[in-house]
A and B are shown apart, each in its own frame.
Chain A
Amino acid sequence: MSEQAGGWDTGADSLHRYDDYTQINRNQRRVDALKLALGKGTFSDDIDLPGMLHLKCLWSPHAHARITSIDTSAAEKVPGVVTILHHGNVPRVPYTTAGQGHPEPSPYDTYMFPKKVRFVGDRVACVAAESELAAARAARLIRVEYEVLEPLLDSRRAMDPGAPIVHDEPEASGLPGYDKERNLAASMEVFHGDYAAAFAKADLVLEHEYEVPYQHQCALEPHVAVTWLDEDNRLVVRVATQVPFHSRRILARVLGIPVSRIRVIKPRIGGGFGGKQEILIDDLPAMVTLRTGRPARLFFTRREEFSSSRARHPQILRWKTGVTKDGVVLAQELEVLANTGPYGAHALTVQGCTAGKTLPLYKAEGYRFIMNTVYTNLANGGAFRGYGGPQGFFAMEAHMSEVAERLGLDPADFRTKNLIGEGDENPLSKALGEGGEGPPQRIRSCGIQECVAQGKAAIGWERRGKLADPAPHLRRGLGMACLMHGSGIPGVDMASAFLKLNDDGSFNLHVGATEIGTGSDTILSQIAAEALQVPLHKIIIYSSDTDMTPFDKGAYASSTTYISGTSVKKACDGVVEQLKQAAFEIWRHHGDPSDGPLTIADEHVVRPDGKRLSYSEICLSTFYEHDQHQIMDHGSHMSMESPPPFAAHFAEVEVDVETGAVRVLRYVAATDCGVPIHPQNCEGQIEGGAVTMLGYALSEDFVFAGGRLLSDTFRDYKQFTALDVPEFTPILVKTFEPSGPFGAKSVAEIPTDGPGPTIANAVSNALGVRFRKLPITPERVREAWLAKQQGQPASTRA
């Protein structure tokens, strides 16, 4: 049973345990880092198989067109070409590429190859050849005739009568709220309390529109999959994925073969960030392997990554807040119009999180959330670290600063007055579950007030409004935002682990959990080492192989430490009991029964009289000597709770009003993630997540010409580099989460929620102009500054 079953408690009483650990809350060398530093980490593409075929795709040049004919005869004549797949020769099975639990809450609107292409970069055909070069040559020789259709390139027009219909074929289906006749991939309306009455009571009601762009995950390792048939004629899929078990299940559906015939291996992964929570390419080499019997490989180019994978959903958000004149929030209303592009991967759940992660942060009497996620013929939305949070937090936290400004309150004081705290119910958890109703949530651990206090001190918040501008054209400003996220999907996400003892006292730990660079192999090993009281090097971890490890939902939803970590702890607790039982039996067998209850310490089972047996001695005895058996156990965990981590972010910026350039000078991210299993790794998550989103705030955008993406290289899509990163201060605020493993909760996604609003608020503070649209590019800053100089209203509307 889970720890939380024994009744409700908060973490405050357990804080004394914080520093008692020997293996966690410690910076140890990551278990996978040395091999990576040596260049020996074997990523998906780091194997050569004899007879391997190489795949290249032909992508749609049109945003919206019906394929009227495909002629592969010229392509087939290219030496080395073995097979060509297209809609005319593969099964037509509607599915979703979204790697989610079963049944996926995303619409089934995708086919291995569509008859109608829906964006520039949609699949048309795929060539398998003896070399990449031959495959690419052949792909160019495929002759395709299209009936070009009017494209839908503006999400605001998508629901208009007469707008082009993106999914006009009969097979596509979705959950309630799906309406393909109106281009709706998902929609919902939820409310809590009497929001209308609450708004009516308010002294001030403020309402603004915000807009956020596409953002690409930019994992440095592109999507790659290698497939082959093993000696038993089973399909082996070696793929850069965050979701090996979902991949196996969805592949079985698309390929029309049983799950039992598929083995998905996740080797080393070069970053995912949500882009690999997608069954994006696995089906193509798998189909080629099934058809030809030969190994097959598909490796995306960087251009394909940008134009044919997934990105953060762009949104237009309308935020409305009702407050009393002394700054008490009474009501909140959020209306989201999101653009999922051609297919609805994660369309419902990302946008659900836009409300679910944000609205509960401030207590109010009433809430209302209206969401429409529309299809367009632009780039494809999907999962991206933060999963709807960054969009919502940009709007909410920019809005909160505007409300504070209108009330003449310090934005930090206004926030701390209204924040959720320990013991509070999350008012929206029931209404906003994963694709339906969710379990109720109550906060056990909450360090948000402390995050604000420590963050203010670190950035020097008292300087706000008094910052000296270093030159007439340089303006400085301070901004902040408050944040919360979650730890796994409550009532849905399950993880499991298996543990066995070896004769030298080491342990094999097999987890379904998916290390993609986050540090989860290390974190889970540390949890095992702590539970077993052994040094870290005694844990041999093996993760994510559908034949060899038990199930795990995968690396998403900030769930691995909290959910997978608890499954590891359960497996370890079971093994500790078996170790004690075996030691008890060994002593009894030797006529020297224990004088009392047994404990464990330092790789030994210990008696009250001090006599001890090492794990190695116990294992040797249970293997070869007496009462022979394997000491092993497993654990599964699913939580009805998803305790939010909390954070307060602060930034100091310098704006050059002549060029419009914004330089981030300092960034402070104070975070409550419960007990940090590996503090330095938590800092790394915070730094990496936040720096990714500094790009979202300032420089990253998808630029289209018609439906064609122009910013499709690293040169044209500007991420932050080592030169752009500010002086960065991560702060870990101490709390203890009673429902988490050793007091831990999540840290992976919450840092992505902060930089959008924090930077927007800092730039607004510097210039006295509000920015309601990201990214805040030099052009937009100049435009806003010039408008202000000319006495126009001090805001830049989207």
Chain B
Amino acid sequence: MRSELEVNGARVAWEHEPHEFLTEVLRREGLKGTKRGCESGDCGACAVLLDGEEVPSCLVLAAQAHGHAVETIEGVGSFEAPHPIQEAFLDATAIQCGYCTPGMVLATKALLAETPNPTEADARACLAGHLCRCTGYVKPIQAVLSAAQRCQAGAQ
């Protein structure tokens, strides 16, 4: 079957099987930043933004994205101009193996769109669905709070 959607601002039409989940189709189409960690919605490695809302793409059928806008990590920042959230993760040394990082960055983006001044509790809740065995979450929580400050500073 064929689904038409917007991916990172570009309109695409993708052929896929009806049973295929968004993770598989995104990765097949070359968007490898979306990671597979459990394929049961428990780990957050495959998170993408669907119309701005964070979803585990391993539980969203590709067909369900038809007519919607998907943002993946490839749509956030670039080598030349990293997003302030990415800068915050870099400066906090919140990235170790990096497998959970795309999901955490996207979760932070969704959080800050709704809550520009998050508390530490907000930051923890934002990362709660993102498993990370490397960092112990301490520096990622700091990175989320620092990202909020950077985004605020950038907006002024």
Residues of A within 8 A of B (CB): 27, 29-30, 32-43, 45-46, 48, 217-222, 268-271, 273, 299, 301-302, 516-519, 678, 680-681, 683-684, 687-692, 713-715, 719-723, 725, 728, 730
Kindly state the separation between the CA atoms of A519 and B97 in the bound complex, as whole angstroms: 8
Check if A714 sits within 8 Å of B40, measured CB to CB.
yes
B72 within 8 A of A: yes
- Whole-angstrom distance from the CB of A131 to the nearest CB of chain B? 10
Check if A220 sits within 8 Å of B35, measured CB to CB.
yes
Most chain A CB inside 10 Å of its own CB: which residue of B35, B74, B77, B126:
B35
B91 within 8 A of A: yes
Kindly state the separation between the CA atoms of A46 and B93 in the bound complex, as whole angstroms: 24
Check if A714 sits within 8 Å of B137, measured CB to CB.
no
Query: Which of B34, B37, B78, B92 touches A220 (beta carbons < 8 Å)?
Result: B37
Kindly state the separation between the CA atoms of A577 and B136 in the bound complex, as whole angstroms: 42
- Whole-angstrom distance from the CB of A472 to the nearest CB of chain B? 26
Query: Interface code B58-95, partner A: CB below 8 Å = 1, 0 otherwise?
Result: 00000000000000111011110010001001111111
Most chain B CB inside 10 Å of its own CB: which residue of A268, A302, A713, A730:
A302
Query: Which of A37, A719, A725 touches B133 (beta carbons < 8 Å)?
Result: A719
Check if A714 sits within 8 Å of B38, measured CB to CB.
yes
Kindly state the separation between the CA atoms of A221 and B136 in the bound complex, as whole angstroms: 16
Check if A722 sits within 8 Å of B141, measured CB to CB.
yes
Assess A519 versus B96: contact at CB under 8 Å? Given A221-B37, A270-B35, A719-B131: yes
Check if A302 sits within 8 Å of B37, measured CB to CB.
yes
Residues from chain B with a CB closer than 8 A to the CB of A40 are 33
A719 nearest in chain B by CB position: B131
B49 within 8 A of A: no
- Whole-angstrom distance from the CB of B142 to the nearest CB of chain A? 10
Assess A714 versus B42: contact at CB under 8 Å? Given A38-B73, A725-B138: yes
Kindly state the separation between the CA atoms of A350 and B77 in the bound complex, as whole angstroms: 44
Most chain A CB inside 10 Å of its own CB: which residue of B93, B133, B138:
B133
Check if A518 sits within 8 Å of B86, measured CB to CB.
no
Check if A39 sits within 8 Å of B40, measured CB to CB.
no
Closest 8 CB pairs of A and B: A39-B33, A517-B97, A36-B98, A691-B136, A270-B99, A39-B73, A687-B136, A714-B42
Kindly state the separation between the CA atoms of A48 and B34 in the bound complex, as whole angstroms: 15
- Whole-angstrom distance from the CB of B62 to the nearest CB of chain A? 15
Query: Which of A37, A221, A301, A516 touches B39 (beta carbons < 8 Å)?
Result: A301
Residues from chain A with a CB closer than 8 A to the CB of B133 are 217-220, 271, 273, 688, 692, 719
A29 nearest in chain B by CB position: B90
Kindly state the separation between the CA atoms of A687 and B141 in the bound complex, as whole angstroms: 12
B150 within 8 A of A: no
Residues from chain B with a CB closer than 8 A to the CB of A43 are 32, 35, 99
Query: Interface code B100-122, partner A: CB below 8 Å = 1, 0 otherwise?
Result: 11100100000000000000000
Residues from chain B with a CB closer than 8 A to the CB of A684 are 93-94, 96, 134-136, 138-139
Residues from chain B with a CB closer than 8 A to the CB of A690 are 136
25 interchain pairs (CB within 8 A)? A37-B86, A37-B89, A37-B90, A37-B98, A39-B32, A39-B33, A39-B34, A45-B36, A219-B99, A220-B131, A220-B132, A270-B98, A273-B133, A302-B39, A517-B97, A517-B99, A681-B93, A687-B137, A687-B138, A691-B138, A714-B42, A719-B131, A720-B136, A722-B124, A728-B138
Residues from chain A with a CB closer than 8 A to the CB of B101 are 36-37, 39
Residues from chain A with a CB closer than 8 A to the CB of B43 are 220, 302, 714
Check if A688 sits within 8 Å of B96, measured CB to CB.
yes
Residues from chain B with a CB closer than 8 A to the CB of A268 are 97-98
Check if A220 sits within 8 Å of B97, measured CB to CB.
yes
Residues from chain A with a CB closer than 8 A to the CB of B72 are 39
B7 within 8 A of A: no
Most chain B CB inside 10 Å of its own CB: which residue of A45, A517, A688, A722:
A722
Kindly state the separation between the CA atoms of A36 and B73 in the bound complex, as whole angstroms: 10
- Whole-angstrom distance from the CB of A243 to the nearest CB of chain B? 16
Residues from chain B with a CB closer than 8 A to the CB of A218 are 131, 133
Query: Which of B28, B90, B128 touches A722 (beta carbons < 8 Å)?
Result: B128
Check if A39 sits within 8 Å of B137, measured CB to CB.
no
Residues from chain B with a CB closer than 8 A to the CB of A691 are 135-138
Residues from chain A with a CB closer than 8 A to the CB of B132 are 220, 688
B125 within 8 A of A: yes
B17 nearest in chain A by CB position: A133
Assess A722 versus B97: contact at CB under 8 Å? Given A270-B35, A688-B134, A714-B40: no
- Whole-angstrom distance from the CB of B133 to the nearest CB of chain A? 5
- Whole-angstrom distance from the CB of B153 to the nearest CB of chain A? 19
Query: Which of B105, B124, B135 touches A688 (beta carbons < 8 Å)?
Result: B135
Assess A722 versus B127: contact at CB under 8 Å? Given A38-B73, A220-B43, A684-B135: yes
- Whole-angstrom distance from the CB of B99 to the nearest CB of chain A? 3
Most chain A CB inside 10 Å of its own CB: which residue of B32, B39, B134, B139:
B134
Residues from chain B with a CB closer than 8 A to the CB of A27 are 93
Residues from chain B with a CB closer than 8 A to the CB of A42 are 32
Check if B135 sits within 8 Å of A33, measured CB to CB.
no
Kindly state the separation between the CA atoms of A413 and B137 in the bound complex, as whole angstroms: 32
Kindly state the separation between the CA atoms of A218 and B132 in the bound complex, as whole angstroms: 9
Residues from chain A with a CB closer than 8 A to the CB of B96 are 271, 517-519, 684, 688
Check if B82 sits within 8 Å of A692, measured CB to CB.
no
